[in-house]
Amino acid sequence: MEGVADPVRSRLASTPAGGGWTITFEGRPPVPMRVSMAGDSLVLISEPYESVLRPKVTVQLRAAGVLVDGSINGKIIATYDTPDGQEVLMGTISATRAGPE
């Protein structure tokens, strides 16, 4: 995300037996995701969760990316529910396929 000194790393994974998708941040429980795939495109929407960058603030992610040369690159929108109302930030995503853990 722009303005962040270090990238926020996460792992997107499908759950066993096609039960859904999750995104996991280091030291955090998995967050359920809704995922749509068509052709070379991927769209992701997270359930709301506590922000990695803003403690005690809830955030929901929406991302869209396109597969090019084995990597998915695209845009992300983070909607934060702050005490002063919603704040929307935009950034970029870059993803590569990882092997099983």
Amino acid letter at 4? V
Mean pLDDT of 12-33: 87
Confidence bin at 4 (pLDDT 50/70/90): low
- DSSP letters for 20-59: -EEEEETTS--EEEEEEEETTEEEEEEPPEE-SSSTT-EE
Amino acid letter at 100? P
Q: Which of 43 and 99 is assigned the larger pLDDT?
A: 43
* Residue 50 C-beta-side C-alpha neighbours within 13 Å: 5
